[in-house]
Amino acid sequence: MKRHLDYNISQHFNKYKQVLVLLGSRQVGKTTIVKKIFPKADYFLVDNEPVKRILETYDIEAYKTLINQNAKTIIIDEIQLLTDPGRAIKIIYDQIKDIKIIITGSSSFHIKNKTGESLAGRKIDYKIYPLTFSEYLQQKGIEKELNYNIFENISKENRISSDHLYRFDIKNILESVLIYGLYPHLIENSNDEKYLMNFVDSLIFKDILELNLIEDKKLAADLLKILAFQIGNLINYSELAGNLGADKRTIKRYIEIFEQSFILFRLYPYSKNKRDEISKSPKIYFFDTGIRNALIGDFSSLEIRTDKGALFENFIVTEAIKQNEYLDEKFKPYYWRTKQGSEIDLVLEKGKILIGIELKYRRKAANAAFKNRYPKSNIVMMTSDNFY
C-alpha cells in the first residue's frame, strides 16, 4: 500500500535532524505510514493514559523510564492530546542525544499553537490527507503504481487513453469516490455509510468541538452543516453570521479551526483587475466528499443527485491541492470570477505558467472570458469523461 509521502518521510532523517511532524485528520493513515517506514521505532500513543501521565511530567528522568535507552527512533502518536506537546518534545530533543523523533497529530491548529515557540527551528511539518485518486486505485489493486498525475493530465489537455477505458470501470469508481470519499477504511469497505456517519460524530462533534477554542458547540456544528451544502460556492461571512445569529469574527475563526483540522479549505480568487473581478471572497471545499455527504446525510446515487457537478468540482480541486503538495509542483491554486458572472473553477499559477481549468461533470461549451482577459493562459475543460 503506497502513499505519495512514503519517499519524503523515509528520507527525512537522511536530510534533517529536526523532528518529523506528520499532520492530518484522524484515520487518514498517519500511524500506518510511520510504522511502515520506521518498523523498529519505539511507539507511544498519547491516548494511552500511562504514557500521557509520564509525558505530562515534563521531566527528563521520567521520560528515560518510558523511552528505551537503546532506542534510535521514537514515534509519539496523537501529540495534540498533551497539555504542552512542544515542551515535552523539546525536552527529549535537547536532552536525549542522537534520537530521531516522529510525532503525529490530528489537529494542526492545536499542534501549531502549542508547539510553535518551543519547537522553533526544531521541526519540519508534513501534511497527509485522505487518499489521492492514484493512491486509491493502487490500494484497490487496479493500478500497480501511483501513476495518476493531475498536472500531467492537464498539460496533455486530458486526452483519455483507450488503455484506461478497458481496464476498469472508471465511471463506477468515480461515483463511489464522489459519494463515499477517499478515507483508507473505504478500500475494504467501499459503501460504508455507517462508518462515515460515526466518523463525523467522533471527528467533528466530539474531537474538534471539544477543543477549548470552540465556545459554542451548536453554532460550530450548524455552521459546518451549512458549509457542507455550499461546496464550490463563495463564502459570505456576513450572511452566514446573520443566518446563524453570530458575529462575523466568530464565523471566520470557526472556519479557520475547521480548516486547520483538515475538514475543509478555502480557495481564494485570482484577480489582477479588482475593478470587475472578485478579489476577496473565498470558495469553500471539503477535503473529503464522503465526510461532506455524511454531514448533509445524503449518500444517494449520482443519477438522482442535483449536486454531482459540485461533488466533481470538489473532487478535482482537492486532488490538485493534495498532489500539488505531495509532488512539490509549486502551483498556486485559485478560482476566477468576474462581477458579471464569468468564471473559471480552478486557476493554477506558477511563474509565467497560467492554467484555467473548467470543471464540469458533463462537457459543456467552454467559457472564453478568462482566455480573453489573460491571453497567455492555457484553458482546459476537465470532465468525468476525461479527468483520468
DSSP string, 261-289: TTSEEEEPBP-S-TTTB--SPPEEEES-H
* Grid cell listed for 6: 512514503
**The predicted structure's pLDDT at residue 321:** 97
Closest C-alpha among 106, 76, 184, 110 to residue 140? 184
Class of domain 6-127: alpha beta
* Grid cell listed for 146: 501511483
Query: Which residue numbers in the chain have pLDDT < 50?
Result: 158-166
Closest C-alpha among 290, 116, 284, 106 to residue 210? 106
Tally of residues, the chain: 388
Q: Are 240 and 223 in contact (CB under 8 A)?
A: yes
pLDDT in tens, 161-191: 444 444 678 899 999 999 999 999 999 998 8
**The predicted structure's pLDDT at residue 107:** 75
**The predicted structure's pLDDT at residue 156:** 62
SS3 assignment, position 1? coil
**The predicted structure's pLDDT at residue 213:** 79
Domain boundaries, the chain: 6-127, 150-382
**The predicted structure's pLDDT at residue 162:** 42
Among all chains, which residue has been given the C-alpha cell 458533463? 362
**The predicted structure's pLDDT at residue 318:** 98
* Residues facing 124 on adjacent strands: 20
Quote helix, strand, coil % in the chain, to nearest 5: 45, 15, 40
By CB neighbour count within 10 A (0-12 exposed, 13-18 middle, 19+ buried), where does 82 fall?
buried
**The predicted structure's pLDDT at residue 222:** 95
**The predicted structure's pLDDT at residue 247:** 95
Q: How many CA atoms lie within 13 A of 302 on its CB side?
A: 19
Q: Is the pTM of this model over 0.75?
A: yes
